[in-house]
Chain A
Amino acid sequence: MGVVTPGFFGRGRRQDAELPPGQYLTEDFPVLSAGPTPAVALDDWEFSITAESGDVQRWSWKDLQAMPRESFTVDLHCVTRWSKLATEWEGVSLDALLADIGSSADFAFISSYGGYTTNVPVEDLLDGKAWVAFGYDGEALAPEHGGPARLLVPHLYLWKSAKWVRGITLSNVDEPGFWETAGYHNYGDPWREQRYWE
């Protein structure tokens, strides 16, 4: 237990059970990004997955919309300490997108329109744990929240869920991304409170 703060009694206890350590509940949907929001026209939008062999598979916006879509409800945990529970999304699972990719790579390096990057182990993208999402709360995903489409890996801190996602490069080498090289944890499990470099 930490040092008791004289005069502080707190009010937030009842939510503790469902939140990872050090998080608090918000009903808003705050935004965290490092630079301007990129403007991406749907006609120009493209998403690609590059295997370690160099083979590339590409999807236009139409191609993505033709994939089997899933509706899913997940909790979001941001490293800036807010959590938002039971958010409703629509998107295509990474299981579906990776299904025809010939790869045995362990690591995924994710790039976005606007230059943002992040890294995730491939196993964290599989088995219904990750999506390319384009719908939020019954509407098209707004640009400030990553629209037209963002990665969503909700079991990790939200910076891993790259907004404005553009491509995934699979590799046998783990390459830290934008926040991972700027002091944030390489993996980012909220339940183990992996916020920063230790």
Chain B
Amino acid sequence: MSSWRVATVVGIREETATARTLALRVPEWSGHRAGQHVDIRLTAPDGYTATRSYSIASASMADELDVTVERVADGEVSSFLTEGVAEGVPIEIRGPLGGWFVWSPDQPEPVQLVAGGSGIVPLMAMVRTHVSAAAARHMRLLYSVRDPGSVFYRDELLERATSQAELSVDYVFTRAIPAGWPTPPGRINAPQLSLHTISASERPTCYVCGPTGFVETVANLLVAAGHDQSRIRTERFGPTG
């Protein structure tokens, strides 16, 4: 787990104006668990290195490793990965890492995912693993995002939500709504959470990922709605340059 290996960028997909997905081919990658992350290390010609952690977006059984990177102002690593990198470039990675914020298709209980902004990335790995594994248990995603243009994986989520009976996807738009959207923009509140998430009585495991304030709010709302705190797993996205 601790050794660095050289991955190759084999695909680049723009997700939004500020975020892109890099598909990495990693020799002898033995798979990962949905929700885990990798460390990416960049090395300059003079030996200077910069390392950051990025969540894996691809399903646990996928051949290639997808990471989605959002550009952070003044972020030397995220700027390079979203603007400077090209297909064929070698990039060092280490991982997979993280043993807590993970979901396995073996888990028998329903799953509630709640994403804030780029916090969708590790949850997308769970959505993709759920579908690939044909898991029978209900998985529900509530995705809070600023505006329609900031949605990652939009077409794929739409396609998966309509084709997979046990997967449902709901959105909350905080700043601007799509044309014809029934509710005005605003942050997640208790009534919305109750409307768009699996009830506490079904005892789902909840995975909440996003910026600190978002995760604090949602985790507290889930506890207030009767979810046992031992079944709420959180991951906060700090600033990652």
Which A residues fall within an 8 A CB radius of B?
Answer: 1-13, 22, 24, 26, 28, 30-38, 80-82, 114-115, 144, 178-179, 181-183, 196-198
Contact = CB atoms under 8 A, between A and B. Distances in A.
Given A5-B91, A7-B85, A81-B51, 5 more contacts: A7-B89, A26-B239, A28-B238, A30-B239, A33-B236
A32 B211 CA distance: 10
Given A3-B6, A11-B76, A183 B51 contact: no
A178 B99 CA distance: 10
26 contacts: A1-B43, A2-B43, A5-B80, A6-B89, A7-B84, A8-B80, A9-B44, A12-B76, A13-B48, A22-B51, A24-B52, A30-B238, A30-B239, A31-B212, A31-B236, A34-B100, A35-B219, A35-B229, A35-B232, A35-B233, A81-B53, A81-B240, A144-B216, A183-B99, A196-B1, A198-B1
B80 A7 contact: yes
Interface string B64-88: 0000000000001000100011100
Which 9 residue pairs spanning A and B have beta carbons closest together? A30-B238, A182-B99, A36-B219, A183-B99, A2-B43, A10-B44, A31-B212, A5-B42, A8-B42
B221 to A, nearest CB: 10
A38 B239 contact: no
Contacts of B48: 10, 12-13
A9 B41 CA distance: 12
B44 A36 contact: no
B50 A36 contact: no
B52 A81 contact: yes
A6 to B, nearest CB: 6
A80 B238 contact: yes
Contact of A115 (B41, B42, B230, B239): B230
B184 interface: no
SS class of chain B's interface: helix, strand, loop or mixed? mixed
A1 B212 contact: no
Contacts of A33: 234, 236
Where chain A touches its partner, the secondary structure class is loop
Interface of B: 1-2, 4, 6, 41-45, 47-53, 76, 80, 84-86, 89-92, 97-101, 212, 215-216, 219-220, 222-223, 229-230, 232-234, 236, 238-241
Given A2-B4, A179-B100, A8 B212 contact: no
Given A8-B43, A10-B42, A10-B76, A32 B238 contact: yes
Contact of B49 (A2, A6, A31): A2
A91 B44 CA distance: 42
B90 A5 contact: yes
A38 B230 CA distance: 11
